[in-house]
Amino acid sequence: MTDENYYKDDLIKLGERIRKLREEKQYSQEVLGFKANLHRNYISSLELAQKNPTYTTLIKIASALDITVAELINKEEDL
């Protein structure tokens, strides 16, 4: 099993969480990208689990959503 496949479920959950939190703020992908200084296409790729974000990227997204990185990646939270 490759690393890519091994972590795919986690990436899917993270993408779903980013989308949920973004929609709760009523942000478009473009607005979240602007606030996080990331391209909207990259936000889309994260939500679709096509990219594996760096810790720095998680910090940018969490900051743009006014939450902590721990809150962003919290696996215990219901989607």
Instruction: Return the domain boundaries, the chain.
Output: 3-72
| pLDDT tens-digit map of 10-35 | 999 999 999 999 999 999 999 999 99
| pLDDT tens-digit map of 46-77 | 999 999 999 999 999 999 999 999 999 986 65
Cα(77)–Cα(74) distance, integer angstroms: 6
Residue 23 CA, chain-centre distance (Å), reads 12
**Residue 41: pLDDT above 80?**
yes
pTM of the predicted model as reported, rounded to 2 decimal places:
0.87
Written out in words, the top-level CATH class of the domain with range 3-72 is mainly alpha
Which CA distances in Å does 23 have to 17, 19, 38, 54, 60?
Answer: 10, 6, 17, 22, 17
